Amino acid sequence: MKRIVISPLVLITILTYIGTLSAKDGEQALILQEMTWMDVQEYLRTSDMVIIPLGSTEQHGPHMPLGTDTYEAVGMSVKISEQTGILVAPVLWVGYSVYHSGFPGTLNLKPETMEQVLFETAEMLMKYGFRRFMFFNYHGGNNIVQDKIIHRINHTTEATAVAIGHGSPLQVFEDGEFFDWHAGLGETSIMLHLRPDLVKRDRIEKPVITFTERQEALREFLEHHPELEPVFSAQFGVPAETGKGGASHELSSNGIWSFSDVTSATAERGKKRVDAMVAHAVKFIEAWKKVSH
């Protein structure tokens, strides 16, 4: 039998390659729908944590997909999973979005319906041994549902639930541009980073924003009374039936809520925001891993 001699240089190269493969394997996100039941069973031997992304299916201007919020929530959750090894369970593609229904394609769930679906899903996950739930929301309309489902889990089950995305105390941002709230400069930049294939830059156009007299008056007051910002914000993202003029089609000519120059959106700007959100969540998860449920 002929003896094979491997030079030290070749051996180092092989070991380096194997190490690279191992590193890549370690960075593979764990997504419930892509796993087998045996994979989940094995995961539960070492972890009882799960991340549940919350998004929506709603208009995002003429240039971004209806699923933008869900792509953002899932996309950032996947990045968190890559760095922490925590399983991600995308449950819903629909959220509370009735105020965007003036534009075709928007879907909506009543808050109580959404809460019940999430709770029943959480109950099933608890059945298998999951005990630590992290909701990563990236749609402002879902905040009320997120608060209620977390409260319900914490007060009626042995599991613990927290928020780690939008609407979470973990996420603190630098001040952005005024009223760049929806499908604008910031959000378009995030999608250019996460899913550039779904952004139609050639369709970006400046919206005509129409404020009611009350909204305009509050806007002027904000210059000297910034503490009134919650009152100003409460006028927007509400159904047309409220008479506040804050439904999407009443406010914006094309669904974009922004005074910013959306054409200046960049993937680099989006990456900065995504990296910051992911880093905050990862830091929290790594700390939580060190303590028992």
Domain boundaries along the sequence of the chain: 29-202+266-289
User: Dihedral sign, CA of 195, 260, 207, 145?
Assistant: positive
Superfamily of domain 29-202+266-289: Creatininase (3.40.50.10310)
- For 287, counting Cβ atoms within 10 Å of its Cβ (0-12 exposed, 13-18 middle, 19+ buried), the class is exposed
Rounded (10°) angle between helices 185-194 and 68-84: 50
- pTM score over 0.95: no
Whole-number Å distance between alpha carbons of 246 and 214: 11
CB neighbours (10 Å) of residue 230?
7
Nearest Cα to Cα of residue 188 among 68, 279, 100: 68
pLDDT (tens digit, 0 to 9) for every residue of the chain, 293 residues total?
A: 445 455 544 443 433 333 333 333 447 999 999 999 999 999 999 999 999 999 999 999 999 999 999 999 999 999 999 999 999 999 999 999 999 999 999 999 999 999 999 999 999 999 999 999 999 999 999 999 999 999 999 999 999 999 999 889 888 665 568 899 999 999 999 999 999 999 999 999 999 999 999 999 999 999 999 999 999 999 999 999 999 999 999 999 999 999 999 999 999 999 999 999 999 999 999 999 999 76
Pair of tokens at residue 257: 């809520």
Rounded (10°) angle between helices 68-84 and 267-289: 50
Pair of tokens at residue 31: 């997504």
